[in-house]
Amino acid sequence: MNESNSTDLLLDISILYRSTQKYYDKMLQSLSLTYAQLPILILIYEHEGISLQQIAYEGGYDKGTITKQVQKLQETGYIRVQSSKRDKRAKELYTTQKARSIMNKIYGIRASWWQHISASIPEEDMQKFSTFYKTMVVSAREFAQKDQEDIVFFDHQKLNVEIDPGKMSTIVWTGGCNFRCPFCDRSRFIFLKEDSRVITGAKILQYLKKRQNVLDQLVITGGEPLMHAQLDPFLREAKKMGYQIRIETNGSYPQHLQDLIKAKLVDQVVMSLKNTPEKYGQSIGVGQTEIQKIQRSVDILLHCDLDVRFTILPIKEFHSQKDLIEMISWLKDAASIELRTYHESMESIQKDLHGYTYQELQSLLPKLQEITPNIKLKGGSL
């Protein structure tokens, strides 16, 4: 595995959780308790008469989980449940004498584990960590309750004059992709780190509003932009400001593509064709794909009125000259096809691949242009 200074909070929390669970289950075995029941038992002990709803809120539990664990605690004789005197429909939870007799032991088990995992951390750092952790818990609780309607981006180039000569463009990158193309050189937008820079759609729209009389075009790339349903309302706002919209896609979401075209939310589409139908799964790194979706996207783009460009990134390990001829034949009715040269980067998913050189593509170009004249060479990958 590659070493990285970036945090991986999900993995760290998972390791801490599983190690903690293993410790507690071992220590609680003689008491017929489990780690899953412990926080609920402690909440009841420290808040006698607490309701199921309060436990759900305090612990972030769902109803099914609480009901299951409360039932087990009842069966082992550690708690009792009674109807509330104020509201007969509500249930109040209390510990039994059996539970109260073991709580000192439970607190000791908890303290021992805490001392073990925090022993090498200076007290001052531990206090800071505790404060940070509580803040993160509050933020996590609030975020989990929100409707995630606003699209987010993971990078923003405020001005670009090269991607479309003659146009002042701004580029945003979405995160996540359903492909794992070995020759992809944008792995940071596919394998998203938890400390990745996140930019809200609202912030991008604010920027677009300020540059309304300067910029011509908004470019959405990724990752795979069309995997995000939240993209549509964002594009509507950008179109209201008069921006031309360019979307770069792998073509695996034909319905979303068609919907955007029908709604007039896109002006230019750049689709990256990965290989021939027979070799597509190999080239996208997932073993197989629904090639009919790719074929449908190609068909949609060949028959629409937009500015459409197809790009091909020839890699010797994946594309023979015969494959390239077949790919160009597939796109023979396209108005614009770009053959691009590959340059390995630190972000390339698979290292030591060999792209066709510019000179090699130049020598192959006349043969390809016999199929269609609408081909040009361009350095750099999509």
Does the predicted TM-score (pTM) go above 0.85?
Answer: no
Its sign, for the CA torsion 222, 188, 214, 236, is positive
Q: What is the pLDDT of residues 255-301, one digit of tens each?
A: 999 999 999 999 999 999 999 999 999 999 987 778 999 999 999 99
* Burial (0-12, 13-18, 19+ Cβ within 10 Å), 351: exposed
Backbone angles phi, psi at 27, to 5 degrees: -75, -25
Please, where in the chain does CATH 3.20.20.70 lie?
A: 152-378
274 contacts 298 by C-beta, under 8 angstroms: no
Q: What is the pLDDT of residues 295-342, one digit of tens each?
A: 999 999 999 999 999 999 999 999 999 999 999 999 999 999 999 999
- If you count them, how many residues does the chain have? 382
Rounded distance, CA 202 to CA 152, Å? 9
Q: What pLDDT is recorded for position 12?
A: 87
Q: What is the pLDDT of residues 54-63, one digit of tens each?
A: 898 788 888 8
Please, where in the chain does CATH 1.10.10.10 lie?
A: 9-144
CATH code: domain 9-144 is 1.10.10.10
284 contacts 251 by C-beta, under 8 angstroms: no
Q: Which amino acid is at 192?
A: L
Rounded distance, CA 169 to CA 160, Å? 5
Class of domain 152-378: alpha beta
Question: Per-residue pLDDT for 355 more than 80?
Answer: yes
Please enumerate in sequence order all residues whose Cβ is within 8 A of that of 96, keeping only pairs 6 or more positions apart, or say none. Answer: 77, 78, 79, 80
